[in-house]
Structure formats: structure tokens, C-alpha cells
Structure 1
Amino acid sequence: MLARSSLARIASQPSPLGAAPKTARNMATLREIELRLKSVRNIEKITKSMKMIASTKLAKAQRAMNSGKQYGLANSEIFQHAPSEAPAKRKLFIVVSSDKGLCGGIHSSVSKATRRAIADTENPVDADSPIMVIGDKSKSQLARVVSKNLAMSFNQIGRDIPTFADAAGVADLVMKSNVQYDSIVIVYNKFISAVSYEPAIIEVVNENSLKESAGFRAYEMEDDVTRDLAEFSLANAIYAALVEGHACEQSARRNAMDNASKNAKDMIDRLTMQYNRGRQAAITNELVDIITGASAL
């Protein structure tokens, strides 16, 4: 009985100065939830703003894509009337992506398509085919797998709507490079709709293949004509791939920001419910303490 009375006196003594109350853990948890709610709300505002910006840019990108597709159609007509008689033994892959992220699987899509194209080639020489990349994102992805194949990379292209001057500059550097190839394969994202895209391939023959085709041998032309036509056809194909890839990027960024906003909203709802439950539990505990103290008195 003496021991019990001593324990009762000790338990009834007030807490020492500076000691944390019993609900300190709950209050700290509520404070953490409140700070997390604030940060998630800020993230939701950012993703919604980025979605609106991407939606505005998508309309402009689609208009540029529709006009840029005419360049690709002109190229396809040329190569249909002048097909290459000998199959290409060594191909140069030009991968079209961009330097920006937060746009879903745009960059990984063309990177995977390039790796599949190299792995599925029947000619073993094509396993060492050179690769040129437009954009830092796909470059970093391909550098981890086929770093020995990377011959050249381009950046700061497509920050805004791509122009023909950008494509002509890339084509000029490709033609002046010392890379040996029989044909050029351009890997890019094909725009299907505002919510879907798929990787596609455009093949462009080089100057020698144009000279050896039956359609060009029927006419007497100087070497400069064939060389200029090959470079112009390459610039056309790159420009068509750039504008279509840019439209796919804006569409994917809008969809990614829309999904991020929805996820943030779901997280806000869960955190709000968790905060309300914790706050209600803390108030209930305080009421129990007050009622218990009043009953003891």
C-alpha cells in the first residue's frame, strides 16, 4: 500500500519545467503534414502553369508540323522515283530528340527504337553503325549502352519551334564530317494525335546511291547537282523530323503535367484527410485530459 501511494504521488506531481507535453508527438506530426500540404499545393500550381504553357505551344507546334511535313513528302517522292539498287551496308543513325525533360517517354522512345534498329540488322557490319544525336537527353541514354557508336551530337536545337536553318546547319555538319556511311536513317517521334505518338524512321540515301540509281543515270548531270540534291534532301528530312518531334514533345509535356496535377490533387486530398484526423485525435486527447482532471478534482 505504501509503494502504491508513493507511485500515485509521483504520478500526480507536475511535469518538470521545459518537458514536452503528451501531445507533442501528435503536434509535430500535424506540423509536418501541414508543411507537406503546402509544398504539394505549390507543386500543383507549377504543374498547372506548365500544362497551360505546353497547351499554348502545342497549337503553334502543330501548325509548324503541318507545314513541315511537305518537306518530307517531297523527299519521299524523290526516293520513290530514284530507288537505290544496292542495299546499304553501313547506315548512319540520326536520332532526333531535345534537351528538355518533363515530357514523358519522348526521349526513351527514340533511344529504344535506335537500339532495336541496330540490333535487328542482318548485316554484322551494321552493329558498328555510327550514331549522331540531336538533343542531350537521348545522348545521355544512348551513351550508357552504345557509347562507342556515338560520332557527333547537337544541342540547343528545338528550344523553340525548329526552323529550316537549324536543319540545314545539322545537314551541313553531317556532310562535312568524316563519318562513312551508305545511307542515313533518321529516328524520330511520329505525331499520331494529341495524346499518342510512336517512333518512326526515315531513310535518306547518300550522294553515291543517287548517282548509281537508274532514275538519275538517265540524265546527264554534274557532280555538284547530285551532291547539292543529297544535302538538300537530308536537310528536308531532318526538318520534317524536327518539327514533328517538337509537336510530340509539347503534347507529351502537356499530358505529363496534366497527370502530375491530378496526382498532386489526389495527394492533397489524402494529406488533408490525414491532417484532419490527426487534428481531431489531438483535440480528443486534450478533452480527455481535461475531463479526467476535472473528475479527479
Structure 2
Amino acid sequence: MFATRAQPVASALSAGVQTRNMATLREIQLRLNSIKNIGKITKSMKMIASTKVSKAQRAMETARTFGASSAAIYKNSNATPLESEDNLFVVSSSDRGLCGGIHSSVAKATRKIIAQSEVKNAGIVVLGDKAKNQMSRSNRGDIKLSFNQIGKSIPTFAEASAAVDTIKASGVKFDNATIVYNKFTSAIAYEAVPITSYSLDALKGSEGFAAYEADEGVLEDYNDFLFANNIYWALVEGHASEMSAKRNAMENATKNAGEMVDRLTMTYNRTRQAAITSELVDIITGASAL
């Protein structure tokens, strides 16, 4: 009598436990498949970024040669920035993400330099949508121009020259320009640093150029060339830092996905073993009841 009444109750309990276990197993299996697919995507993106890093580093070495020549010209001419309140800050970044905090580091460095310089008229030109979003939160009113679609692959000198021409055509007035970019330090490190570009008046007033009776139009073209040269240097070196940071980010994401797959696989196996054990207990209990 007792066994006859207990059997339906035990069957109902076992059915409920089995249903919950099956639902849990299906959820774990779906999540496991999703994470495996994400891991495959991040691994592919890491391989693509690794291929682009080598090309970006070769272009960066060439751009550094151009940048070193500009720095040598300013140094040998003894040019110094003018004491003025009209300063321009060029923030170099890109339009794409998935590369860690590389864009936020440039924005933070720019805000820090502006705060330390204590300038009243700080015009900002942003190269890339990512840094524009960052700078708009704190310096929306100071943004004069913004560019996008620059450096979708490796930036070129033509793109830097077009940016300088657009800045001049827009009527943005400045006496000193500071370009903030990510300097490539190593495969796992970068640093936001500034490059200073001088105005035409500062170039004409320097000792090195004052000794020559150069035409003002020639000096103006030459100063624009130096400005574009520095922007090109910043863009290419920032692109190399971005590709390296993207590769590291995808490598970390792939590693994290693998660790999550291992944990979920262990959880799935334990849950499956628990379900099998529960079913065996039900079978043995039912057989004993009979």
C-alpha cells in the first residue's frame, strides 16, 4: 500500500528534476556553442591584425624618417613657438574600435595638455570619429574641424596634405599647433605624446631662416609641408600602435573565450553526470519499490 502511493510521487519528482536538468544542459550547450563561435571570430581577427602589424611597422619606419627631418629643421633653425593665446590641438586617432583604450588615451592626453598650458583659445581638430566622441564630452565647443575615413588602411602623405589644406581653407587661425598621437613603443606598449608645429611667423623669425632672404610664399609652402609632414608622422605611427593594440585585444579575447569554453565544458559534464546519476537513482528506487 505504501509502495503503491509512493511510486507516483517519486515519478513526478524525478520527472521535474529531469526536466530542469535537460533545460540547464540545453542552455549550457547553446552558450558553449556561442562562445566557441566568438572565439573563432576573434582568432581570425587576430590573424588579420597580425598581418597588418608588419605592414604598419614598415610604413612607420619610413614616416619616422620624415618626422626626424622636420624635427631637425626646427632644431637647427632655432625656431621657438610664439607666445600667443591662439593654439591649435590636432588629435590623431581613427574611426574603428576593438583596440583597447588607445583612443581614450589620446583624448586624455589632449585634455591634460590643454589644462596644463592654460590657453584661452584652444581650437581642436580631430582626426577620426573615435577621438571625436571622446573630446565631445568635455571640449565640444572647442572642436573646429573633424575628419573621418582617414587611414582606413595605411595613412598616406596625400591624406595628411589634404587635411592641412582643409584646415587652412576653413579659416582656423592659430599661432602654434600641437599634434597629439600614440607613439609606438613596442608590440605591447604605446604612449600618447605631442608634436609641436610652428607658425609661419615663428619660422620667419627664427635665426636659421632670418639669415636668408627667402620669399614669403616659399616659406609659407615650406611651413605647410612641415605641418603636413608632422601630421603624416602622427597618423602612421598611431596606425601602427592601433594595429598592435587590436592584435593584443583579439589575442586576449581569444584566450578569454577559451577559458570560458573550458569552464562551461566542465559545468556541462558535471551537470550531465548529475542528471545521469539522478536517473539511475530513480531506476533503482523504482525497482526496489516493485
Task: Please give the range of the TM-score, normalised by the shorter of the 2 chains.
Answer: over 0.9
C-alpha displacement of 1:16: 11
Name the aligned partner's letter for residue 76 of structure 1.
Answer: A
Q: Secondary structure at the match of 2:17?
A: coil
SS at the partner of 1:188? strand
Deviations 1:265-290 (A, max 9, x none): 11001100110110000001000000
How far 1:219 moved relative to its partner? 1.4
The CA deviation at 1:260 is: 0.4
- Equivalent pair of 2:176/2:196 in contact (CA under 8 Å): yes
Paired residues for 1:171-190 under 5 Å: 171-190=164-183
Give SS of 1:146's match.
Answer: helix
The answer (yes or no) to whether the contact 1:183–1:206 under 8 Å persists in 2 is yes
What is the letter of the counterpart of residue 103 of structure 2?
Answer: H
Contact 1:85 1:212 in 2 (8 A): no
- Is 2:101 the partner of 1:105? yes
Name the TM-score, length of structure 1 as normaliser.
Answer: 0.92
Q: Deviations over 1:84-138 (max 9, x none)?
A: 26434321000000001001111011000000001111x4xx1440111100001
C-alpha contact 1:68 1:239 (8 A) present in aligned 2: yes
Displacement of 1:20 in angstroms is: 5.8
SS at match of 2:83: coil
In structure 1, the partner of 2:36 is 41
5+ residue gaps, structure 2: none
Offset, 1:241: 0.7
Q: What SS class does the counterpart of residue 137 from structure 1 fall into?
A: helix
Whether contact under 8 Å (1:190, 1:248) holds in the other structure is yes
1:278 to 267, 271, 279: 271
**2:71 aligns to what?**
76
Alpha-carbon shift at residue 15 of structure 1 (Å) = 9.7
- The total of aligned residue pairs comes to 288
Return the alpha-carbon distance in structure 2 between the equivalents of residues 88 and 9 of structure 1: 98
Partner-residue secondary structure (3-state), 1:160: coil
Structure-1 separation of matches of 2:168 and 2:285: 87
Structure 1, unmatched stretches of 5+, are none
Change (3 A) 1:174 1:62: same
- Paired amino acid for 1:113: A
CA apart distance, 1:21: 3.7
Residue 113 of structure 2 is aligned to residue 120 of structure 1: no
Aligned-partner Cα distance in 1 for 2:285–2:211: 105
Which of the residues 152, 164, 171 maps onto 1:159?
152
Contact 1:118 1:127 in 2 (8 A): no
TM-score, normalised via structure 2 length: 0.94
Instruction: Supply the RMSD in Å over aligned alpha carbons.
Output: 2.0
Q: Do 1:85 and 1:213's aligned partners in 2 also have CA atoms closer than 8 Å?
A: no
Question: Secondary structure of the equivalent of 1:129?
Answer: strand
Alignment of 1:1-297 (within 5 A): 11-13=6-8, 21-82=16-77, 83-84=79-80, 86-121=82-117, 123=118, 126-297=119-290
Counterparts of 1:26 and 1:127 in 2: how far apart (Å)?
66
Structure 1 residue 11: Cα displacement = 4.8
